[in-house]
Amino acid sequence: MPSDIRSFFGGKPAAAVEKPPPKAEATSKKRGRARKVVDDDDDDEVVTPKKATPKKAKIPEPEAQETTADDFFGKGRKPKRTEAVRPEVKKTNGVAKDTSKNTPKDKASSRAKKDSTYTGLDVDEFPDDMDADEGGDNFKSEAKVGRRAGDDYQEGTDDDDDLPLLPTKKRASGKQGKAKAEDDDFEPDGDVDIKEDDDFVVPDVEEDIKPAKKPIKKRKAAAIDSDDDDLEVEEKQPSKKRTSPLKKSRQTTKPKMVTGQHEESAEMKAIFDSIPTVNAPEPPPKAEDGAKPKFQYGAHANSATPADALDPSQFPQGQENCLAGLTFVFTGQLQRLGREQGQTLIKQYGGKVTGAPSKKTSYVVLGDDAGPKKLQTIKQHGIKTINEDGLFALISKLPANGGDSAAAEKFAEKQAKEEETIRKAAAEMEREEKARLAAKAKTKPQSSGQAGSQSKGKEPDAPDNRLWTVRYAPTQLNQICGNKAQVDKLARWLRAFPKNQKTKFKMPGADGSGTFRAVMIHGPPGIGKTTAAHLVAKLEGYDVVESNASDTRSKKLVETGLKGVLSTTSLMGYFSKGAEEVEEGKKKLVLIMDEVDGMSAGDRGGVGALAAVCKKSQIPMILICNDRKLPKMKPFDFVTYDMPFRRPTTEMIRSRISTIAFREGLKMPPNIINALIEGTGADIRQVVNMISTAKLDSQNMTYDESKDMSKAWEKHIVLKPWEMVGKILGGGLFNAASQSSLNEKQELYFNDHEFAPLMLQENYLGTKPQRANKYQGNPKMHSLATLDLVSKAADSISDGDLADRMIHGTQQQWSLMPAHAMFSFVRPASFVAGTMAGHQTRFTAWLGKNSNQGKLMRMVKEIQGHMRLRVSADRNEIRQTYMPLLFDRLVRRLEDDGKEAVPDVIDLMDHYFLTREDWDAIYEIGVGDNDMEKHKIESQAKATFTRLYNKASHPMPFMKASQVLAPKRAPAKDRPDLDEAFDESEDDAPPDDVKDDEEDNDLSKDKYVKAPMKKKPAAGASKKRKSKAADNDDEEEEEEPKTKKGKTKARAKK
């Protein structure tokens, strides 16, 4: 294993680079960063082998093999390579690799001497192995990244070996021996030894490597090049490393300024240093038994506002934009600052808030119960951690625009760049405007005097009357904010349409859109769906035929109206003056169906007809809707190619908005635009509307104004039942700091007063009540307190039911509604409100249970009706006393004895005038031991039973069927009436139980009534039955089994 050993030794000098000459550090921060990566790697490795057992030693081997292979190739190619840059990049990266291979081995060998610990450590063996493996993977991936960057990394090692490093090798090998010895010496303090090692080696390396290598300066340049890659690696690392190195902290505690390429100025540094930091707690150690303490994600999401939160008025006032360029991460629950408040605060001063700490994070604002993952990352990168005080200090101390700190400068640079693009875009817009005006002037020479060729710098005489949303609608694809991939896909599909048409839509194409004649764009309002569709169509040379919700789109009209469109070509431009040629491409048509989900009353059958058209259309169709998941959009499944449009991110919209603002002479800093965009939920159109309104009376806008405005413009929509209950239970409305009044909570109920109590009842057990939190330390008291709260909530819910009875009872006391709101919704929530972490909001089960109850009740009623001639018991008695017995004799018999029991069973049934359905009902009604699920009757017995039963005729009690007739499928209560447009006939397969109901209805109608014979009894069995039934005096009864036959067949079909 020569190569193995070589890498083994090669590692030592490489590792030594960890302590580069101090001047190098001073001159290049970047390089320092790269170095840091190495450092971290090393740290991790240090710990992994700590617990390692002999197994460990094997791990490097495959890697060593790999290296040899690489070496092989490297050697083959090596002579050709002469560039100077390579070795340098290799150097930094090589370090990472080499240490990775090296240290474990090293440690393992040292471990080998420490026999006494073997047994004790065996337990940990496997998890650690996995970790080590992962570590290995990690490095491989790193290596890959490195290769992509410079592709020289492996070869680099060769350089090391083959060229003048031989002496080094020897030295190092000697060193190795020494290191081992030292290891032994330092054994009790296993952690430090590595460090020692390093220190020890450093001088050698400086001597050896430096002369051997090309000048180190170049290497620095290369390091800067590869910096990005390093960052990438960095990002990957935290997620992979699961070992929580407890000792590591010692090595990494030296805080580093993550920002900037250059040094901070002295006064900035003073400010930064004066910020009180807090010590991050140790990340919790990994549980020894492998049971990793599960961190509840989102556990803190709802408890965002602490109980004793500060009032916004107590926040410090800082200079404008003072946090510019700094990145913050919040973790844990802060004592005096709600997370949202904190984020707002930071954004207000131009800072950036991200979700997870990374190398780029400037500060972590740390609270209690911080996530272990985050703590680990903090440790790893030595990020500064502060608390609220630190944050406030930052805000109050930093000068405007972040002063001249490195971060701020970088930020300013970025901003300048952004501004540049904005300016460019604005200029572009201006050009377009001019072109448009010029065109207008040309077509209307008479009006050019007033509106046309005026210079655009000042307002033209006739102001542009168009709305901003129209004026600044995108005119090029790259002006559409977000959803780039989807827009491209749309364009591609449209372009490929003629080709697909020729292949008869058989070729799916790269993205599978080739087989579709229609696409469906769906997404929330205001993100540019219609715009994108129109623009793409225009740019692809199609003429647009548009139909939207303002057109009637009933089945008939869709069918007839679209037929006209579908078989025509465009005449657009046909009558224009001969000057412009009518291009061939212009004859293409695209049909844009806007607001497909807006088909409602009066559009009966439209959806189905449209879906049918989509299947055979010869022109491309683009359908647009907001909510694809609505049941009435179901006919479009598999008919259209779905293109979900998502809300664009803030960054995507911001540049566009800034451009518009700039163009209109409105001064808007980015953080204000951000606030507007976030406030509207990334609704571009609304943001444009907002700034156009704001422009009316002012030329600029402050942060608070923008906040207020987006709050005022907040789209109020009726909350869905889920959101409602989530808000009241988990929304922190009952926090002491929350501003919401009792009235506001009551308003939540009125979002949907029918569902609110039901949803609350379904979900009130799923919270961790806030009120019980004070017993946090005492599990017993805590659960008792929780129980008490839950009981109070349940009491209140039942109080609510009393009120509900009066509201929905005979009296209809609607004046009790507010009381009901309080009883059934607000008050229970006040007890159990807390976090809903780990609980998925369920839809109320009451509706299903209620209808099930109704069904079962009906069954019992029917059975009682049939048995009436034999027994004198009311419904409840039948259910409670007869039913268990009947179950035993009818169902269990059949289960136990199989088909032998069938005649007895039928006899018993006939005795009590029970029908076959009643048997099914009895089977279904059983509870407890008699539960249907617990008794599976073999199909053979059941089939025999059915056959025999149908063979014979059975006595029937005389009673009006109408009395037990199930209510004709309750009018679709749960469907909103706008579903009228949804054509039932097009709906494939309604839910099964519905079918069942329908059948039952038909049957029960037929049962005692003489009905025309619908079906010829098909089976021979029924013929026989007929002959047998000949002596049957009652004609009505004769009809019965026949229908029954039909029914069982229908059942079988199902």
Partner 1 sequence: MARAESSKDAASNGVKANTNGAPSNYELPWVEKYRPVFLDDIVGNTETIERLKIIAKDGNMPHIIISGTPGIGKTTSVLCLARQLLGDAYKEAVLELNASDERGIDVVRNRIKGFAQKKVTLPAGRQKIVILDEADSMTSGAQQALRRTMEIYSGTTRFAFACNMSNKIIEPLQSRCAILRYSRLTDAQVVKRLYQICKAENVEYSDDGIAALVFSAEGDMRQAINNLQSTHAGFGLVSGDNVFKVVDSPHPVKVQAMIKSCQEQKIDEALDSLKELWTLGYSSHDIISTMFKVTKTIPSLSEHTKLEFIREIGFTHMRILEGVQTYLQLAGCVAKLCKLNMKPQLFTVPNA
Cβ proximity to partner 1, 160 vs 543, nearer residue: 543
Contact 892, 926 (CB under 8 A): no
**CB 418 to partner 1: min, Å:** 26
**CB 482 to partner 1: min, Å:** 16
3-state secondary structure of 446: helix
CB atoms closer than 10 angstroms to residue 89: 26
Q: Rounded distance, CA 871 to CA 336, Å?
A: 73
**CB 547 to partner 1: min, Å:** 9
**CB 93 to partner 1: min, Å:** 51
**CB 465 to partner 1: min, Å:** 5
Cβ proximity to partner 1, 279 vs 743, nearer residue: 743
DSSP 840: P
DSSP 283: P
Cβ proximity to partner 1, 360 vs 471, nearer residue: 471
- Could you tell me the CA-to-CA distances from 894 to 460, 863, 889, 945, 1047 in Å, in that order? 93, 19, 8, 9, 22
3-state secondary structure of 488: helix
For the record, the structure tokens of 137 come out as: 């993977």
Cβ proximity to partner 1, 103 vs 830, nearer residue: 830
Long-range CB pairs of 284-287 (<8 Å, 24+ gap) are 284/244, 284/372, 284/375, 285/244, 285/246, 286/127, 286/242, 286/243, 286/244
Q: Which of 438, 134, 176, 390 is nearest to 278 (CA)?
A: 390
Strand partners, 277: 386
Cβ proximity to partner 1, 831 vs 923, nearer residue: 831
**CB 640 to partner 1: min, Å:** 20
Cβ proximity to partner 1, 341 vs 692, nearer residue: 692
Cβ proximity to partner 1, 248 vs 820, nearer residue: 820
CA R_g for the chain: 39
**CB 1033 to partner 1: min, Å:** 58
Q: Rounded distance, CA 269 to CA 406, Å?
A: 10
Q: Rounded distance, CA 861 to CA 884, Å?
A: 16
Cβ proximity to partner 1, 573 vs 818, nearer residue: 818
* E strands, 884-984, in order: none
Which residues bind to partner 1, rule: CB under 8 A?
462-463, 465-470, 524-526, 530, 546, 548-552, 594-595, 597-598, 600-602, 626, 683, 685-686, 689-690, 692-693, 696-697, 712-713, 715-718, 734, 741-743, 746, 751, 796, 799, 802-803, 806, 811, 813, 815-816, 818-819, 822-823, 826-827, 830, 978
Cβ proximity to partner 1, 412 vs 978, nearer residue: 978
Cβ proximity to partner 1, 527 vs 890, nearer residue: 527
**CB 697 to partner 1: min, Å:** 6
3-state secondary structure of 891: helix
**CB 723 to partner 1: min, Å:** 12
Cα within 13 Å of Cα(395), Cβ side: 23
Q: Rounded distance, CA 906 to CA 886, Å?
A: 12
For the record, the structure tokens of 107 come out as: 């440690």
Q: Rounded distance, CA 150 to CA 125, Å?
A: 37
**CB 776 to partner 1: min, Å:** 20
CB atoms closer than 10 angstroms to residue 777: 7
Q: Rounded distance, CA 1008 to CA 1030, Å?
A: 18
**CB 711 to partner 1: min, Å:** 9
**CB 324 to partner 1: min, Å:** 30
Contact 515, 506 (CB under 8 A): yes
Cβ proximity to partner 1, 613 vs 826, nearer residue: 826
Cβ proximity to partner 1, 266 vs 696, nearer residue: 696
**CB 549 to partner 1: min, Å:** 4
Cβ proximity to partner 1, 697 vs 988, nearer residue: 697
For the record, the structure tokens of 575 come out as: 């009558």
**CB 497 to partner 1: min, Å:** 24
DSSP H or E stretch at residue 874? none
Burial (CB count within 10 angstroms: exposed 0-12, middle 13-18, buried 19+), residue 731: buried
For the record, the structure tokens of 972 come out as: 């679709």
**CB 629 to partner 1: min, Å:** 15
For the record, the structure tokens of 296 come out as: 């509840």
Contact 864, 872 (CB under 8 A): no
100 Cα distance to chain centroid: 36
CB atoms closer than 10 angstroms to residue 398: 25
DSSP states of 49-61: HHT--HHHHHTHH
Cβ proximity to partner 1, 200 vs 722, nearer residue: 722
DSSP 505: T
Sequence-ordered list of residues with C-beta below 8 angstroms from that of 574, at least 6 positions apart, any chain: 582
Nearest 10 degrees: Cα torsion 1040, 1043, 1048, 1053: 180
Q: Could you identify the residue written with the tokens 């490393």?
A: 241
Cβ proximity to partner 1, 626 vs 841, nearer residue: 626
**CB 506 to partner 1: min, Å:** 35
Cβ proximity to partner 1, 818 vs 898, nearer residue: 818
DSSP 299: T
